[in-house]
Structure 1
Amino acid sequence: MAEAQLQQFLKKIEQLNAFVALSEAQPEVRQALQDCSNHHDVVQLAAQFGFEIGRRWGDSSPKQPRPTDQPNLLRGDRPTSGQERTDVLASGQHWRLERIHSCQASSPAEGWYDQEDSEWVLVLQGSASLQFEDEESPRDLCVGDALLIAPHRRHRVTATDPDPGTVWLALFWSADA
């Protein structure tokens, strides 16, 4: 582990310990923590008290500039809440590779994707829930989870993370390939 990563890790532990100490000292903070229903609620609550616990392992500080010739799939313009941004990274005659950045976005309640192409999708950052029309419950996906979606298998996104959002890598290809 590089020294900078070690310092980032130790800083997060320090912030977590201080937030725990505050919740033990103040019953109202403990109750608010208990009322949180997910990780994002906890991060938001901690931020209200000045604690930065939301950065994930490997996230760099926005203050650290990156060389322009060193692209990173996890950085870039974030969509506004409720929106999604798609960038085609590469493509060929019968395929395309996309980076999809969703920020607290979901498919319309009545909307289903029914696509001609096969799709392989991988969650690079954040988490999401994806519902197949032929399954009773949505599938919860987190970093590293991948799915292969057959052509015409109707599906929809039911939830993605709030800021900084969910980043997907999606490969689409047609049967002609």
Structure 2
Amino acid sequence: MASNLAPDAPRNLLAVAPGDEAQERFEDLLRAPGVRIERIVSHGQTTPPDQPYVQDWDEWVLVLEGAAELLLDGTDRRTLAAGEHLMIPAGMPHRVTQTASPTIWLAVHIGEA
């Protein structure tokens, strides 16, 4: 079955533009039915304690560079170093409690409407 996606120009997932440290950057790399692949660049940003992420889809995250700490379901603390990944099931409250500067993530959202 042929894809309707056109080839992109090559880009480097590890390239970070200087001067963007004040904001966390979210960049969609691919959107297709049921899946979204996103690159996230963090510079010490965290999720506010009173605003955890709760998604209706599964999310697989991979730290490409840097390090991060996540709090899953309010009690399960996970630390991810470069090369480590984690599946976050749909409906699980989670938040980022610490990131190195920079931390570059690859997030795959599975089943997103």
TM-score range, shorter chain: 0.7 to 0.9
What TM-score do you get using the length of structure 1 for normalisation? 0.55
What TM-score do you get using the length of structure 2 for normalisation? 0.83
- Counterparts of 1:144-163 in structure 2 under 5 Å? 144-162=83-101
Q: How many residues align?
A: 104
* Residue among 72, 79, 102 paired with 2:12: 72
Task: Indicate the percent of aligned positions where both proteins have the same amino acid.
Answer: 37
Root mean square deviation, CA, Å: 1.7
Unaligned stretches of 5+ in structure 2? Answer: 1-8
Alignment partner of 1:87 is 2:18: no
Look up the equivalent residue of 1:160 and give its one-letter code.
T
Instruction: For residue 87 of structure 2, give the secondary structure of its aligned residue in structure 1.
Output: strand
Distance 1:168 1:145 in 2: 10
Corresponding residue number in structure 1 for 2:75:
135
Instruction: For residue 24 of structure 2, give the secondary structure of its aligned residue in structure 1.
Output: strand
Unaligned stretches of 5+ in structure 1? Answer: 1-68
* Residue among 125, 136, 149 paired with 2:65: 125
Larger helix percent: 1
Distance 2:47 2:85 in 1: 19
Alignment partner of 1:172 is 2:113: no
Look up the equivalent residue of 1:157 and give its one-letter code.
V
Deviation at residue 84 of structure 1 after TM alignment: 1.0
Corresponding residue number in structure 1 for 2:48:
108
Distance 2:96 2:47 in 1: 5
Q: Highest CA radius of gyration, 1 or 2?
A: 1
Change (3 A) 1:134 1:159: closer
> Is the 2:71–2:94 contact (alpha carbons within 8 Å) kept by the matching residues of 1?
yes
Question: Which structure is higher in RCO with an 8 Å CA cutoff and minimum separation 6?
Answer: 2
Corresponding residue number in structure 2 for 1:27:
none
Larger strand percent: 2
